[in-house]
Amino acid sequence: MSLSVRPKVYSLPSYSLTGDLLGFLRCGLQYRYTRIGKLPASRPVQQWFGEFIHGVLEEAFRRYHESVRKGVPSLPPWPVSELDDIRKLIKDRLAARGLRAWAPDLEQLGDDRAAAAVQELGPLLFPLIHRAEVRVTGARLLPPIASHLQFREADRYEMVGVVDVVTHVQLATPGLAGNPIVKGVRAALGGNVPPEFELIIDYKGMRRPPVAKATAKHSLWTQYEWQLQTYGGLRQKQADALQVVAGVLLYVNELHPTRSDLKLLKDEIVTGTTDVAPVPGSPDDIAIRAWRSSQPLPQLTLGYRLARALRIVPISAASVQQAELAFDAVVKDIETCRGREEYGTSLLNAWDRNPSEESTCVVCDSRTYCPDYQTNYAAQQGELTPRLPAKKI
Ligand code: SF4
């Protein structure tokens, strides 16, 4: 009697749009250690910032929504005591997971940015929100990798993501047509919007990056656009979705810029690498050009800070398809690295490294043994490569 052989387990690989794909694009080796290997970061400053701002905005919206449900809508700005209460609640939640701000000045910056986000952006954003933290999923064909690196049975992969905010906009609603976010979307789409539509919004705890140069491959500018497009495509298939006309990236740091942010902005205005420069001769233009780093920061207008904070990306079937193909290509790269590792190549050689962003490398826990860090940045950071003591003869 012949016994049948149990077939290999068929498991669908799952790739999240931010954690996996954007993480791998930032640097494959860092992604291998922190995401796949689950090595916690020794200085998770950026993680604290991102999660703190997300948490504060989510809690603030929950409180606003609750006030609407009770029939007494209360939009920000709110008293400082209410804001303090929200910030403390979120800090306590993060601290319970071991996430802290690490330094008092960083915590103060987080507090200030959270205040700007709730008190200045909240009144414009909260009335538009339909749902927050919306999970989106889909399945796509797994791109084939070189046959000698094949290590899976699966022929598809799962694409997952969480949209921070889904808005429903009915232009007939009194007051909405004049909302700066809605006005920005109508301008970006040339006024060509249906009477009812949906926007997907993603918060980014960072400043607005300079516009990608035409030659730059996989720049942050392009990557975040792919993220919005793919979110838009997945969201569009859900039952309660209206027509998704655009995605909005919300660069929270622009609401409360620091000295280094303003210095970078000045440089980008001079080199013409920002797409949102102040109107020449406007108060913002004069204030930025006259500012010297030894002086106090100028108070930029809310209109200009909001224009820099919002990046509106029109979404169409064609643009979604293009972004999905780009993400397939990244999945193929990740699978190829996994295949190399699976067949015995060392981690340092199996995984693609990306030393192009100094700010990523200088906080990377792999920098002490990463050859690219040693070549590009160790000397200028005053860090010497660890060496074994020389042998005395
Ligand atoms: S130091 Fe830079 S190149 Fe090296 S692993 Fe870290 S992020 Fe990647």
pLDDT for residue 191 is more than 60 = yes
Mutating to test ligand 1, I would choose from 351, 361, 375, 376 the residue with most ligand atoms within 8 A of its C-beta, which is: 361
Three-class SS of 131-166: EEEEEEEEEEECCCCCHHHCCCCCCEEEEEEEEEEE
| Atom of ligand 1 minimally distant from the CA of 361 | 2
pLDDT confidence of 217, banded at 50, 70, 90?
Answer: low
> If you average pLDDT over every residue of the chain, what do you get?
89
Q: State the residue range of the domain holding 98.
A: 14-257+300-350
pTM of the model as a whole: 0.86
Assess if residue 383 is contained within a domain. no
Assess if residue 6 is contained within a domain. no
Neighbours of 40 (CB within 10 A): 9
Q: How far is the CA of 383 from the centre of ligand 1 (A)?
A: 15
pLDDT for residue 168 is more than 70 = yes
The residues lining ligand 1, judged by C-beta closer than 6 Å to any ligand atom, are 27, 29-30, 353-355, 360-361, 364, 366-367, 370, 372-373
d(CA 257, CA 251): 11
The predicted pLDDT at position 72 comes to: 94
Which residue is it, tokens 């007494």? 72
Q: Where are the alpha helices (DSSP H) in 238-354?
A: 259-271, 283-290, 302-309, 317-342, 347-350
Q: How far is the CA of 357 from the centre of ligand 1 (A)?
A: 9
Assess if residue 154 is contained within a domain. yes
CB 319 within 8 A of CB 229: yes
Assess if residue 125 is contained within a domain. yes
Q: How many domains does the structure of the chain reveal? A: 1
Q: Encode pLDDT of 80-120 as tens digits.
A: 999 999 999 999 999 998 888 878 998 999 999 999 999 99
The predicted pLDDT at position 126 comes to: 93
Q: Encode pLDDT of 196-208 as tens digits.
A: 889 999 999 889 9
Assess if residue 331 is contained within a domain. yes
| Atom of ligand 1 minimally distant from the CA of 367 | 1
CATH of the domain at 75: 3.90.320
Assess if residue 162 is contained within a domain. yes
Q: How far is the CA of 27 from the centre of ligand 1 (A)?
A: 6
Assess if residue 184 is contained within a domain. yes
Token digits for 155?
């022929």
Assess if residue 243 is contained within a domain. yes
Q: How far is the CA of 301 from the centre of ligand 1 (A)?
A: 38
